[in-house]
Amino acid sequence: MRTKLSKEETLYKKSDEYVIWRMQIYYRDNYTCQICGHKGKDIEAHHIYPYRDYPHLRTDLNNGVTLCAKCHRSIFGKEMQIAEELKGLIENGVNSVKLSDDATGDRDNTEPSRDGDISEGVTTRK
């Protein structure tokens, strides 16, 4: 299950500025997941520092990385724990950084509430 976007976020993700950012991320990463190397369909542009919390970085190319849907789900809600590892992927290429078990393990994938209270988190993607 995905986190519901606000009306403003939904509109922004359809903007030319955002669409261009996403396509530049795909192009830079050769349409390839920077964790597992999957290429082609089912790729997504991921914000290293979360979209909602860092609005000033929303279209910064250094804040984006191409991930396949499976890898994207595996790190959802753990962005801040693995931000530096993801930045290393951008700098050094696919499979250049081993993500920690916390980032890719089959642990509970909960997202804190909007207030940051982990105890009130909701299970997100599976």
Per-residue pLDDT of 60-77, as tens digits, reads 999 999 999 999 999 988
Is 82 inside any structural domain? yes
Q: Is residue 115 part of a domain?
A: no
A 10 A CB-CB count for 76 gives 18
Residue 64, domain member (yes or no): yes
Domain assignment present for 116: no
In a domain, 43, yes or no: yes
Choose among 78, 81, 114, 102: nearest CA to 3.
114
Q: Is residue 73 part of a domain?
A: yes
- Per the structure, the complete domain to which residue 36 belongs is given by 7-104
What mean pLDDT comes out for the span 104-117?
44
Q: 117 lies in a domain?
A: no
pLDDT > 50? residue 97: yes
CA 84 to chain centre: 13
Instruction: State how many domains the chain has.
Output: 1
Counts for the chain of helices (H) and strands (E), in that order: 5, 4
